[in-house]
Structure formats: C-alpha cells, structure tokens
Amino acid sequence: MDRPAADADETRLSDKAVVVVFSRVLSTLVELATIIMLVRLLSKETMAIIGFLLLVYQTTRYFATFGFPESVFYFFEKLGPPYQRAFALRTFFILGAMGAFAAALMLALAALAPQVLRSWEPGPLATLRQLLPWLALVAVLEIPTWPMNNVLLALDRQKAASWYQMLTSAGSFVALVVPVLLGAEISVAIYGLVIFAVARFAVTVVWFQLVLPGPSAPLAPGTLREQVRFAVPLGLNALSSRVNKYLDKFVVSVMLPVAAFAEYQVGGQELPLITAIPYGVGSVFISRFVALHLAGDREGLLALWYRGIEGVSLVVVPVAMLFVVVAHDFITLVFGAEYAPAVLPFQIYTLILLHRVTQYSAILQAHADTASILRFTMISLLSNLVLSVPLTWLLGLSGPALATLLSALVTWYVYLKRIGVHLGVGLGAVFPWAYYGKVVGVAAVAGAVCWGLRYLVLDELPQMLALSIATAAFLLVYAALGALARVIDRSHWRILGGWVRLRFLWR
C-alpha cells in the first residue's frame, strides 16, 4: 500500500475508533443514569427486587453468550464474505438455544425462590416470582441478538454499530425508568423490558437482512467445532473475570465490619467511563489485527498495536491521574463526607487504570489464542486471592485494593510476554514504552500542579469551585506540556474538535 493510501486508511480507522468509543462512553453513562435514577426513585424494598432481577439476568446473559459473540471478529476475517452470513446465522441460533436455557434457569429459580431466598418477606418474594418468568422471556428474545453489534463492527460498519449500541442502551433506559418516573408499579417496568426486547429482536432481524442479504455458501463441517474451541475459553474467561471483579469485595465483607464494606463498595471500583475507551478502540482494531495476522504481516500488526496504545494513552492516562489527585473531592461530593475512608481504595484502584491503554486480549484473539486469555485470567484470580487476605489483615480497607493492583501488574506482565511471542519481539519492544513514559510523566507533572493548587492554595474556597479551578489547571498544564514533549500534535486537536461537534455521527 502506498503512503497516501496508508494515511487515508489510518485516518478512516481513527475515525471509526472515535465513533465506537463515543457510543460506548455514552452507553455507559446511560447505564449509570439508569441505576442512579432507580435508586433515587424507588424504595429500598422495591430496589432490592429490581436489583435482584437485573443481577439474575446479567449473570445468566454472561453465561449464555459464553464467548460466541466475540468469535465473530476472528471467523469473519478467516472465512471471508461468502461464508459470513451462514456463520452469523449459526451464531444467532446457538445463542437462541442458550437463551432458552437461560430462561429455563430463571423459571427454575422462580419455582425454588422460597427455598433459596428464605430471608425475604412474603410480599417481595411473591413479586419476584411473578416477574421472573417475564424476565425469562426477555432472555429468549434478547440473548440471540447479542452478536449483532460485533457483526456490524466486523463488517467495518462502525457507525451503524454505534447507533445500534446507543439505541439499545437508550431503549433499556426508557423501558425501565419512564414507568417508574410516571409512578407505575415495578411490574410495568419489567413489561416495558419485554416490549423493548420484542422491538430489539425485530429490528435486529431487519438490520441483519440489510447488511448480510442471502444466500450464503455452506460452512465446512469442522467450523462449528473450531468455533466452540475458540469461544468456550472466552466464555470461561468472562465468568472468571466476573468472579475476580467481586473477589476483593467478598474478602472485605468477611473480614471487615459492615460499615467498611459499604465504604469499599464505593471506593473499590474502576471508573467504567475510562475502561470503555480501550475496549471500544480494541473492538474496532481487532478485525484489522486478524487480517494482518492471517496475511503474515507482523510489522504492520506491531505498528497498529503501537498506534492504538499511543492514542488511548493520551486520554486514559491523564484522566486516571486527575482522578487520583482529586479523589477526595470526587468521593465526598458524589457520595458524601461519610464515605471519606473510601478515598484511598479508590485512588489505588484508579492507579490500575494507568495500564488500561489497550484491550490486551485483542492480539491473542487475533491469533486464536483464547486458551491463554483464560489462563491469564485465572492467574489474576489466584494472585488476587492469595494477596487479598493477608493485605486486608495488615492494611485494612486499602489492603484488597492494593492486592488487586498487584495482581493487575502480574497479569500485565504475562500478557505482554505472550503478546511478544506472537509478534516476535521481546518485552522491551512489545509496548511503546518511550511514548507511554512521556505521557505518564506529563500527566504526573500536571497532577502535581493540580494537587498543589487545590490543597495548598485553594483549600479555603468552596469545594466545587476549588475542584473546578484545579481541574482546569490540570488540563491546561497537560495540554501545554504534552505539546512541548511532542506527545500531542495538531491531529489530536482536530480529533478533539470533531468530538465536540459530534461530526463523526453524521459524516
């Protein structure tokens, strides 16, 4: 490919990444707004019912999808256009069967609820048993549609995928929140989810026919077995990741008082808006990773890998550094002064985000090395378990957060080593250390200026005003130093301008 064509290709890829990241961030905001509004609008008893219903649905959905939607990226590139429709249809049918199985589990839970939830009062328990079958119907209708977003991404239709994700997130929000806002019973909100699931299923069928019209060439007999081998480790990885995510919370609930557990629930979490960025970019790049791998272009793959990390670092690293610095203001303003003990765990958790500058599993998925992804998640889970108990005993509330940080560093190391094997480079060349180090250094200096201004100069001002001034100072210092260090250039400002004007959604 000549230089002008390559530059145009890189620009298109960047534009597509921006679209997907924006849609993921917006969808995350919608999900957060849904939880916040439900908590504020419902009684604790009603919130417990709907919270349990959503927990059951989300858990069964993770189990039912089991890595099959992620297999679309790899096999669409490997099989090529003649077989894509047949592969997508088979994936939809597999998830249809899994959705029916998930629904059966929900119906079984409805029947066994009196034995499982012995501490529940009869009224809430009866409501729960009445609504679980309706949620089972949602599973039957919605779980088969789950690969559609990945199908659109794999077909290089990032804008369509973004609209699909934003519309489905908005639909869930409207179905759940609007009935509650209007003062309706909780059952009306669940019925709203059923109506939305029907609409989502119908829209997905029509959209699929538009982007992949028939007919399609039949798949080779061994393809299903190959897909299962690819998807099952990813499914087990997703389940293990969910366990790992809540492991430290379980340790705190067992070893520390109830009040400490409430504080850790607030502080012991990564900011979802930040994590949406690397995973959004990864979902765009993964199809290109697969294509470059299948073409045997290691140099091109490494260059694209570097480019994605460098672009994400410019956003994730400074935002994470800013939240580390202003953590006290953030926690006390959002959750109240009584949650001040959550500040240190939150700062430690936010430090983890400094290395979340790419979707590390994307390179391994591109090489069909999903077994390593599962193995590394188990390493993270076991190291977290081994470290959490003694560190909680020694350090109290900050102990499990520190254990999570240390296990994340261990996992980072093993991921980079394995990625280096696939790319044919050592640890020193598998990651753009020099550029990343510059970004971290610039963000650290901006953070030091922000901290000094906020807590040494502006401490007597109203908290919100002081926080706003310090944040503005951080952004100005980061932008100025970033330009001087040549990690920020005019192309980055053009991208930012496009974000502000939302041009990427309409072009």
d(C-alpha 504, C-alpha 378), whole Å: 39
The pLDDT of residue 193:
95
Is residue 166 a contact partner of residue 21, using CB atoms and an 8 Å limit? Answer: no
What is the reported pLDDT for 133? Answer: 96
* CB-count burial class (<10 Å; 0-12, 13-18, 19+) for 113: middle
pLDDT tens digits for the chain (507 residues)? 444 445 455 556 666 677 777 777 777 788 778 877 887 788 767 877 887 888 788 878 878 888 899 899 899 989 999 999 999 999 999 999 999 999 999 999 999 988 888 878 888 889 999 999 999 999 999 999 999 999 998 898 888 888 898 899 999 999 999 999 998 999 999 999 999 999 999 999 999 999 999 788 899 989 999 999 999 888 888 778 877 887 888 888 788 887 787 788 788 888 877 888 888 888 888 889 999 999 999 999 999 999 999 989 999 999 999 999 999 999 998 888 888 999 999 999 999 999 999 999 999 999 999 999 999 999 999 999 999 999 999 999 999 999 999 999 999 999 999 999 999 999 999 999 999 999 999 999 999 999 999 999 998 899 999 999 999 999 999 999 999 999 988 877 776 666 666 655 555
Torsion, CA 393, CA 397, CA 398, CA 404, rounded to 10: 80
Q: How many angstroms separate the Cα of 407 from the Cα of each of 127, 248, 341, 404, 436?
A: 41, 11, 23, 5, 21
Helix (H, G, I), strand (E, B) or coil at 66: coil
- Residue-wise burial string across 57-73, b where 16 or more C-beta atoms lie within 10 A, e elsewhere: beebbebbbbbbbbbbb
Cβ contact 91:228 at 8 Å = no
Contacting residues for 151 by C-beta, under 8 A, at least 6 apart: 72, 76, 88, 208, 211, 212
Q: Three-state DSSP class for 121?
A: coil
Look at residue 4 in the predicted model and tell me its pLDDT: 46
Contacts 24+ apart (CB under 8 A), 468-476: 470/325, 470/326, 471/322, 471/326, 473/449, 474/318, 474/322, 474/325, 474/446, 474/447, 474/449, 474/450, 475/318, 475/446
Are the C-beta atoms of residues 369 and 507 closer than 8 Å to each other? no
Contacts of 365 (CB under 8 A, 6+ apart): 70, 73, 74, 234, 286, 289, 290, 373
Tell me how far apart the alpha carbons of residues 388 and 308 are, in angstroms, rounded to a whole number.
Answer: 33
Task: Compute the distance between CA of residue 113 and CA of residue 49 in angstroms, rounded to an integer.
Answer: 12
Alpha helices in 295-342 (DSSP H): 298-325, 327-335
Per-residue pLDDT at 1: 47
Cβ count near 493 (within 10 Å): 12
> In this predicted structure, what is the pLDDT of residue 54?
83
pLDDT of residue 116: 81
User: In this predicted structure, what is the pLDDT of residue 287?
Assistant: 86
In what helix (H) or strand (E) does residue 362 lie, and over which residues does it extend?
helix 361-366
User: Using CA atoms, how far apart are residues 461 and 482, in angstroms rounded to an integer?
Assistant: 29
Q: Please report the pLDDT score of residue 500 as a whole number.
A: 60
The answer to whether the pTM exceeds 0.85 is no
Bin 502: left if φ > 0, else alpha if -120 < ψ < 50, else beta. left
Output the pLDDT for position 3: 46
DSSP 336-351: -GGGGGGHHHHHHHHH
Report the residue count for the chain: 507
